[in-house]
């Protein structure tokens, strides 16, 4: 999702913290060799103060020749351009298609000269969903996406994409080209001819490694294969060749890029070094304080939880661009399972200097959330609130798991959740389903319309109550959350074995039934949790419990509740502020 327009353009290093809302996303990427079962995984948190959490669905379809598709900006609903529709599109559940291809994104904005949106063209959201409808695997997705950038203007700001199929995970970073940026004298010298579209670089995450991006461009220098061939043949092959990508299907190729990614920067006067030293990030999205502290810090936090020795990058993550730079990927100390990955999306910088549970901003009950705006001034000095992976304004998030040992419609699972990642439940939605459960269905409520049957509204109702007495209530929530997710993971294994040899409508029916039942189970358990928390924590008290029941007196009355004190630091703050008035004499 889009980050604050001002900081995305890099105009002011601390701008993300003042006077604007920060709409930002987090992606983590996991290669086959980094996971216990050999699946690939990517995560995505769509964080926005105005995005409603629902599970999108696009049905597979066939179209007659000459059909046009109207591109609509995912963020605003504005109609952009019409493009030719392909003869057949694949079904897409959320951000994963029927072939277990998954794509996520984060917006980084980039240079101010390139950060403005243009009329028409294709926006970043449409790039994702159009590509998922037209590609079967990660490399094919890169070809399709690059084709859009060749044929049409790029509407949005700089963007990082995560692309995963059952075998590979790629990070692709792009930024749109803009009229008026190329300097005539440099273009003539370089024999460079400007075209619309964008420039980009894609790198495969090495097997056994994990990566991440969170609203800051991450690719610096990159291998330059130099395998450019002449266009030949017809149809798809000719299209691939015209993109200089006819070598992309060679397994040893692990980096591809647009042909003018360096030349365009030279023609604009932004780079004059050697090709080998060219850094995509430093040229098209130079580092700022906010790009480090509000963005790369989230990647650092994940790296810090999976690999030893990451503390060496903490100064960088806290905003010091002169400190040792965070690498694009790291090798985890041990292989991860899907529950590990879910929990990596649950982070408030615990265990780092930025731990949001420790300072007085966490209130008397250690609540690791800070209401916006993210920046404030005291006595003429500027301060910030941290921006962690887990944040209150998440619309939806997912863990996309791609498993190559199963048929694609079974092998792809979108573990889908709504609201805050720390308190959500990741519910298994198979990529082969054709019916979206009611609680996640588009149109079941919206950001201004409450629905009793909407997961988004139920989870927000619970979470916003939990924030009020966080340190106590979150433990009750986590018990239900952990039990549900553990049950889901076990049930998925049994279900896989039962349906792996099915196909056709029989398989579809089973997938729809299973995913629907898991969503129903989640809604039932979360409604029960909602009522339990209200009864237990009403009016700031905590009801006593024994043997799984609330305690009563011998006469049947409610036992007198517990009334735990605030944490000591909070009492000290009260005394410093108001002690003369409330001092007991």
Mind spelling out the 3-state secondary structure of 407-425? CHHHHEEEEEEECCCCCCC
Which residues does 494 contact at the CB level (< 8 Å), separation at least 6?
none
**pLDDT attached to residue 233:** 42
Cβ–Cβ < 8 Å for 484, 459: no
pLDDT band at 366 (very low <50, low <70, confident <90, very high): very high
Q: Are 131 and 89 in contact (CB under 8 A)?
A: no
User: Is 283 in contact with 271 (CB distance < 8 Å)?
Assistant: yes
Q: pLDDT tens, 465-511? A: 999 999 999 999 999 999 999 999 999 999 999 999 999 999 999 99
Q: Among 235-249, 330-344, 374-388, whose mean pLDDT is lowest?
A: 235-249
Q: Nearest Cα to 438, choosing from 54, 92, 45, 46? A: 54
Mean pLDDT, residues 235-247: 55
Residue 23 confidence (pLDDT): 54
Would you call 126 helix, strand, or coil by DSSP?
Answer: helix
pLDDT of residue 243: 61
pLDDT at 17: 42
173 forms beta bridges with 160, 201
pLDDT-based confidence at 353, cuts 50/70/90? Answer: very high
Q: What is the pLDDT of residue 115?
A: 86
Mean pLDDT of 73-78: 92
Nearest to 258 by CA among 194, 195, 201: 201
Burial of 424 (0-12, 13-18, 19+ CB in 10 A): buried
pLDDT at 226: 54
Distance CA 264, CA 186 (A): 10
What is the rounded CA–CA span in Å between residue 193 and residue 260? 10
Q: What is the mean pLDDT of residues 323-343?
A: 98
Please classify residue 114 by burial: count the beta carbons closer than 10 Å to its beta carbon, then call 0-12 exposed, 13-18 middle and 19+ buried: buried
pLDDT at 18: 34
User: E strand or H helix at 23, and its extent?
Assistant: none
Looking at per-residue pLDDT, the higher value among 464 and 224 belongs to 464
First to last CA, the chain: 56
pLDDT for 414 equals: 98
Give the dihedral sign, CA 467/470/472/478.
positive
Closest to 47 (Cα-Cα) out of 394, 347, 421, 420: 394
Please give the pLDDT value at position 327: 98
User: 391 pLDDT exceeds 50?
Assistant: yes
Average pLDDT of the chain?
93
Nearest CA-CA partner of 268 in 469, 143, 111, 498: 111
pLDDT top residue among 169 and 229: 169
Residue 147 has pLDDT above 60, yes or no: yes
DSSP string, 500-547: TT--HHHHHHHHHHHHHHHHHHHHHHHHHHHHHHHHHHGGG-B--EET
Provide the percentage of residues in the chain whose pLDDT is more than 90. Answer: 90
What pLDDT does 117 receive? 86
Contacts of 272 (CB under 8 A, 6+ apart): 266
Instruction: Tell whether the model's pLDDT for residue 3 goes beyond 90.
Output: no
Check: CB of residue 467 under 8 Å from CB of residue 461.
no
Between CA 253 and CA 137 the distance in angstroms is 15
Which stretches does DSSP call E strand in 92-215?
Answer: 92-93, 96-97, 102-109, 158-164, 169-176, 198-204, 210-213
What is the spatial distance between Cα 470 and Cα 455, in angstroms, rounded to a whole number?
21
The reported pLDDT for the residue numbered 225 is: 64
Tell me what percent of the residues of the chain surpass a pLDDT of 70. 93
Q: pLDDT tens digit string along 164-199?
A: 999 999 999 999 999 999 999 999 999 999 999 999
Position 296 confidence tier, pLDDT thresholds 50, 70, 90 = very high
- Looking at residues 430-436, what average pLDDT do you find? 98
Residue 245: per-residue pLDDT: 79
Retrieve residue 286's tokens: 């130079």
* Residue 246 pLDDT class (50, 70, 90 cuts): confident
- Extents of the domains making up the chain: 5-384, 545-582
| Residue with the two structure tokens 């017809």 | 234
For 103-129, what is the mean pLDDT?
94
In 3D space, the residue among 427, 482, 393 whose CA is nearest the CA of residue 94 turns out to be 427
Tell which residue, 515, 440, 404, has the closest CA to residue 35: 404
- Whether residue 346 is predicted with pLDDT greater than 90 in this model: the reply is yes
Q: Given a cut of 70, is residue 318 above it in pLDDT?
A: yes
Q: What are phi and psi of 342, to 5 degrees?
A: -55, -45
Q: What's the average model confidence in pLDDT over 336-363? A: 97
DSSP state of 292: I
Q: What is the pLDDT, as a whole number, of residue 242? A: 53
Q: What is the mean pLDDT of residues 427-433?
A: 98
Q: What per-residue confidence (pLDDT) applies to 362?
A: 96
Which has the minimum average pLDDT: 29-38, 248-257, 501-510? 248-257
């Amino acid at each position: 999702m889009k980050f604050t327009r001002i900081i995305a353009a890099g105009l002011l290093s601390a701008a993300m913290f003042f006077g604007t809302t920060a709409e930002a996303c987090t992606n983590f990427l996991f290669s086959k060799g980094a996971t216990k079962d050999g699946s690939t995984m990517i995560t995505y948190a769509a964080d926005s103060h105005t995005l409603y959490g629902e599970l999108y669905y696009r049905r597979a379809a066939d179209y007659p020749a000459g059909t046009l598709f109207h591109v609509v900006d995912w963020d605003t609903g504005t109609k952009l351009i019409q493009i030719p529709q392909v003869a057949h599109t694949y079904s897409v559940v959320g951000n994963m298609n029927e072939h277990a291809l998954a794509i996520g994104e984060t917006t980084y904005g980039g240079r101010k000269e390139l950060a403005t949106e243009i009329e028409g063209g294709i926006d970043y959201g449409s790039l994702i969903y159009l590509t998922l409808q037209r590609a079967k695997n990660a490399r094919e997705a890169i070809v399709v996406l690059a084709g859009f950038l060749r044929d049409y203007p790029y509407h949005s700001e700089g963007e990082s994409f995560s692309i995963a199929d059952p075998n590979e995970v790629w990070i692709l970073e792009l930024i749109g080209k803009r009229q008026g940026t190329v300097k005539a004298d440099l273009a003539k010298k370089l024999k460079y001819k400007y075209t619309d579209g964008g420039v980009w670089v894609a790198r495969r995450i090495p097997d056994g490694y994990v990566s991440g991006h969170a609203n800051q461009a991450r690719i610096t220098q990159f291998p330059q294969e130099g395998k450019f061939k002449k266009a030949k043949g017809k149809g798809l092959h000719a299209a691939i060749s015209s993109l200089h990508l006819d070598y992309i299907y060679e397994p040893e190729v692990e980096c591809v890029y647009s042909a003018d990614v360096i030349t365009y920067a030279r023609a604009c006067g932004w780079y004059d070094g050697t090709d080998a030293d060219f850094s995509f990030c430093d040229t098209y999205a130079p580092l700022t304080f906010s790009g480090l502290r509000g963005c790369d810090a989230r990647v650092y936090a994940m790296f810090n939880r999976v690999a030893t020795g990451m503390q060496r990058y903490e100064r960088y993550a806290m905003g010091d661009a002169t400190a040792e730079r965070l690498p694009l990927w790291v090798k985890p100390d041990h292989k991860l399972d899907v529950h590990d990955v879910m929990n990596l999306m649950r982070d408030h910088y615990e265990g780092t200097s930025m731990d949001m549970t420790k300072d007085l901003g966490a209130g008397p009950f250690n609540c690791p959330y800070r209401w916006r705006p993210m920046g404030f001034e005291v006595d003429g000095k500027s301060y910030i609130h941290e921006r962690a992976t887990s944040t209150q304004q998440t619309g939806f998030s997912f863990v996309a798991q791609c498993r190559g040992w199963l048929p694609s419609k079974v092998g792809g699972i979108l573990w889908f959740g709504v609201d805050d990642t720390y308190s959500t439940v990741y519910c298994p939605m198979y990529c082969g389903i054709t019916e979206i459960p009611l609680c996640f269905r588009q149109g079941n409520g919206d950001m201004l319309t409450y629905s009793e049957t909407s997961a988004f509204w139920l989870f927000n109702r619970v979470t916003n109550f939990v924030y009020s007495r966080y340190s106590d209530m979150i433990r009750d929530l986590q018990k239900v959350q952990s039990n549900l997710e553990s049950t889901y993971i076990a049930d998925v294994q049994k279900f896989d074995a039962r349906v792996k040899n099915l196909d056709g409508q029989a398989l579809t029916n089973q997938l729809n039934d299973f995913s629907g039942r898991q969503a129903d189970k989640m809604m039932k358990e979360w409604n029960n949790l909602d009522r339990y928390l209200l009864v237990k924590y009403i009016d700031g008290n905590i009801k006593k419990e024994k043997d799984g029941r609330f305690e009563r007196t011998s006469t049947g009355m409610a036992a007198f509740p517990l009334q735990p004190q605030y944490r000591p630091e909070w009492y000290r703050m009260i005394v410093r502020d108001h002690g003369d008035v409330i001092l007991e004499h």
